[in-house]
């Protein structure tokens, strides 16, 4: 039973989400996407692998804002009627969980997948409106790396685009030629995030709007529709074995979070202990300074010459203490640096652990009803799991049959085309 539940938890989910930026805020996304930073708050970024990141489109030497200004200067696009702080740039982040790529060939498979995902983005925005599209291949998945014992990277794609809509500008009543009033004066391509991403009315089987309790039509959020289109596009292109991202989901399943939290807690405990040991050693090393006070009592002062006379044993003791002091200073510096480093690591992992714990608690709360049902009504849950697995198997079989029919139809069309060419050659 548990194995079956884990199998469902490990399902692969597609995600296509959109973030928005103003002209002044997009720089942060640009520095991350184009790897313009020298270091990253995200310690999982391995800059030595950054050359493996794949650009399906870029701005060349221009920044995102410079590329936009170029389009504005040529009149290709317009910012007419937009506020100074308007959302101008869209960042579509396309993702599937790491396990999906790792089980299918890793980097090479991810590259093919995101090349197709870029075609989807080009259909959504118009390729001319995409400024940058890059697949990141340099972010380490620590949980799976530790699980498998070799580096595992999380492949995903950032697409920065301009949300452009076609707008008809009409002649106003102030036009001297009254015959033109209300007709199209010009057509402009305007940047407008709100108009680009509109919600749609939810319809019933007869095509009529489904109403809410207050009589207003129910709406399907624009990003939910985007998720649907992305899933359908990738499935139609032959990529399968994944599920459409759950609405409102964090796209992280419970078991992965549990594993990552466990590992981060272990690292946190280890670093805490190392920091404590370094603190102890540091304080112990400082005690050497106190032993130097004993030097004051060594030797006899000759008041006539002002010199001290030392016995052989006293001389050996003084030189030993001197050497110990010099060595101790080095030890103190090294231990101090180690302590500071462990404290920084501790603070980082503590924050990371708390963020993961918060996600875990939120997901656990979402799953509470299911977990309670599993505890009190395991037979009912078993039937539910069997039903879901059956539905997935049925859908997978239907999709496989549909792909095979499509391939057969394409092959048939190719053969008919070749035959037609051969007949044409014989007739000539």
- Residues spanned by the domain of 217: 14-251
Q: Is residue 2 part of a domain?
A: no
Q: Is residue 19 part of a domain?
A: yes
User: Do residues 152 and 107 lie in contact, with contact meaning Cβ atoms separated by under 8 Å?
Assistant: no
CATH code where residue 62 lies: 3.30.930.30
Share of the chain above pLDDT 70, in %: 71
Does residue 265 share a domain with residue 246? no
Residue 427 has pLDDT above 60, yes or no: no
Does residue 304 share a domain with residue 164? no
Compute the distance between CA of residue 135 and CA of residue 133 in angstroms, rounded to an integer: 7
Compute the distance between CA of residue 329 and CA of residue 228 in angstroms, rounded to an integer: 65
User: Do residues 285 and 328 lie in contact, with contact meaning Cβ atoms separated by under 8 Å?
Assistant: yes
Does residue 209 share a domain with residue 129? yes
User: From the CB of residue 113, how many other CB atoms can be counted at a distance below 10 Å?
Assistant: 24
Q: What 3-state DSSP class applies to 223?
A: helix
Does residue 239 share a domain with residue 354? no
> Which residues on neighbouring strands pair with residue 94, listed in sequence order?
16, 157
Q: Is residue 403 part of a domain?
A: yes
Q: Is residue 5 part of a domain?
A: no
Compute the distance between CA of residue 358 and CA of residue 75 in angstroms, rounded to an integer: 48
Does residue 242 share a domain with residue 263? no
pLDDT for 382 equals 79
State the first-to-last Cα distance of the chain, in angstroms, to the nearest integer: 70
Residue 320 has pLDDT above 50, yes or no: yes
Does residue 53 share a domain with residue 189? yes
Burial 370-389 (b: 16+ CB within 10 A, else e): eeeebeeeeeebeeebeeee
Does residue 244 share a domain with residue 148? yes
pLDDT for 8 equals 39
Does residue 232 share a domain with residue 105? yes
User: Do residues 272 and 339 lie in contact, with contact meaning Cβ atoms separated by under 8 Å?
Assistant: no
Rounded to the nearest integer, the mean pLDDT of the chain is 77
pLDDT for 296 equals 59
Could you tell me which residues come within 8 angstroms of residue 365 by beta carbon, excluding any fewer than 6 positions away?
none
Segment 255-283, tens digit of pLDDT: 445 555 555 666 666 666 666 665 555 55
pLDDT for 119 equals 95
Does residue 294 share a domain with residue 227? no
Does residue 377 share a domain with residue 362? no
User: Do residues 137 and 55 lie in contact, with contact meaning Cβ atoms separated by under 8 Å?
Assistant: no
Is the model more confident about 311 or about 407?
407
pLDDT for 303 equals 65
Segment 168-180, tens digit of pLDDT: 777 677 777 777 7
Q: Phi, psi (5° rounding) for residue 287? A: -65, -20
Distances (CA, A) of 327 to 97, 234, 288, 320, 331: 51, 64, 10, 11, 6
Segment 76-120, tens digit of pLDDT: 888 887 887 888 999 999 988 888 898 888 899 999 999 999 999
Segment 348-393, tens digit of pLDDT: 667 777 777 777 777 777 777 877 777 777 778 778 877 887 887 7
pLDDT for 293 equals 54
> Which residues on neighbouring strands pair with residue 243, listed in sequence order?
13
User: Do residues 238 and 119 lie in contact, with contact meaning Cβ atoms separated by under 8 Å?
Assistant: no
Q: Which of 91, 87, 193 is nearest to 136 (CA)?
A: 91
Compute the distance between CA of residue 217 and CA of residue 337 in angstroms, rounded to an integer: 63
Mean pLDDT of 164-171: 78
Q: Is residue 148 part of a domain?
A: yes
Segment 204-248, tens digit of pLDDT: 787 788 887 777 877 777 777 888 889 889 889 988 877 765 444
Does residue 214 share a domain with residue 281? no
The total number of structural domains that make up the chain: 3
Is the model more confident about 292 or about 295?
295
Compute the distance between CA of residue 64 and CA of residue 89 in angstroms, rounded to an integer: 9
Is the model more confident about 193 or about 127?
127
pLDDT for 252 equals 37
Work out the pLDDT band at 52, boundaries 50, 70, 90: very high
Last residue of a domain, one of 251, 277, 303: 251
CATH code where residue 333 lies: 1.10.287
Last residue of a domain, one of 217, 251, 285: 251
Burial 299-315 (b: 16+ CB within 10 A, else e): eeeeeeeeeeeeeeebe
Last residue of a domain, one of 366, 393, 410: 366
User: Do residues 23 and 65 lie in contact, with contact meaning Cβ atoms separated by under 8 Å?
Assistant: yes
pLDDT for 183 equals 74
pLDDT for 329 equals 67
pLDDT for 351 equals 74
pLDDT for 247 equals 47
Does residue 174 share a domain with residue 60? yes
Residue 193 has pLDDT above 60, yes or no: yes
- Report the 3 state secondary structure along 355-408: HHHHHHHHHHHHCHHHHHHHHHCHHHHHHHHHHHHHHHHHHHHHHHHHHHHHHH
Is the model more confident about 417 or about 111?
111
pLDDT for 17 equals 85
User: Do residues 92 and 16 lie in contact, with contact meaning Cβ atoms separated by under 8 Å?
Assistant: yes
What H or E segment, with its residue span, contains residue 16?
A: strand 13-21
Mean pLDDT of 28-51: 82
Q: Is residue 272 part of a domain?
A: yes
Q: Is residue 42 part of a domain?
A: yes
Work out the pLDDT band at 285, boundaries 50, 70, 90: very low
Distances (CA, A) of 255 to 4, 8, 125, 144: 13, 11, 36, 12
Q: Is residue 132 part of a domain?
A: yes
């Amino acid at each position: 039973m548990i194995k079956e539940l884990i199998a469902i938890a490990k399902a692969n989910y597609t995600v296509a989400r959109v973030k928005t930026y103003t002209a002044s805020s997009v720089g942060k996304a640009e520095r991350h996407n184009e790897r313009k930073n020298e270091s990253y708050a995200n310690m999982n970024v391995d800059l030595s692998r950054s050359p493996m990141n794949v650009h399906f489109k870029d701005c060349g030497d221009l920044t995102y804002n410079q590329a936009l200004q170029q389009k504005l200067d040529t009149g290709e696009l317009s910012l007419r009627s937009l506020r100074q702080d308007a959302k101008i740039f869209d960042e579509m982040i396309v993702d599937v969980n790491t396990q999906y790529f790792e089980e299918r060939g890793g980097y090479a498979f991810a590259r093919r997948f995101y090349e197709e995902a870029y075609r989807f983005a080009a259909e959504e925005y118009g390729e001319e409106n995409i400024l940058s599209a890059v697949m990141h291949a340099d972010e380490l998945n620590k949980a799976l790396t530790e699980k498998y014992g070799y580096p595992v990277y999380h492949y995903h794609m950032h697409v920065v685009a301009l949300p452009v809509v076609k707008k008809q500008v009409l002649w106003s009543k102030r036009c001297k030629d009254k015959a033109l009033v209300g007709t199209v004066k010009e057509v402009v391509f305007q940047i407008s995030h709100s108009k680009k991403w509109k919600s749609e009315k939810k319809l019933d089987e007869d095509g009529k709007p489904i109403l809410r309790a207050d009589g207003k039509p129910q709406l399907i959020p624009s990003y939910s529709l985007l998720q649907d289109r992305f899933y359908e596009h990738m499935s139609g292109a032959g990529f399968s074995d994944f599920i459409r991202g759950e609405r409102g989901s964090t796209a992280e399943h419970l078991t992965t979070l549990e594993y990552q939290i466990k590992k981060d807690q272990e690292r946190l405990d280890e670093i805490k202990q190392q920091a404590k040991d370094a603190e102890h050693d540091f304080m112990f090393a400082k005690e050497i300074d106190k032993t130097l006070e004993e030097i004051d009592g060594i030797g006899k002062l000759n008041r006539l010459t002002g010199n001290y006379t030392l016995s052989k044993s006293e001389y050996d003791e003084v030189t030993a203490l001197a050497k110990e002091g010099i060595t101790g200073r080095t030890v103190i510096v090294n231990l101090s640096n180690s302590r500071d480093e462990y404290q920084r690591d501790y603070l980082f992992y503590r924050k990371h652990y708390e963020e993961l714990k918060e996600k875990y608690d939120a997901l656990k709360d979402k799953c509470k009803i299911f977990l309670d049902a599993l505890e009190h009504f395991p037979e009912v849950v078993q039937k539910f799991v069997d039903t879901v697995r059956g539905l997935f198997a049925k859908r997978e079989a239907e999709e496989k049959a549909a792909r095979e029919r499509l391939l057969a139809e394409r092959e048939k069309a190719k053969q008919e085309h070749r035959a037609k060419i051969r007949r044409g050659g014989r007739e000539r």
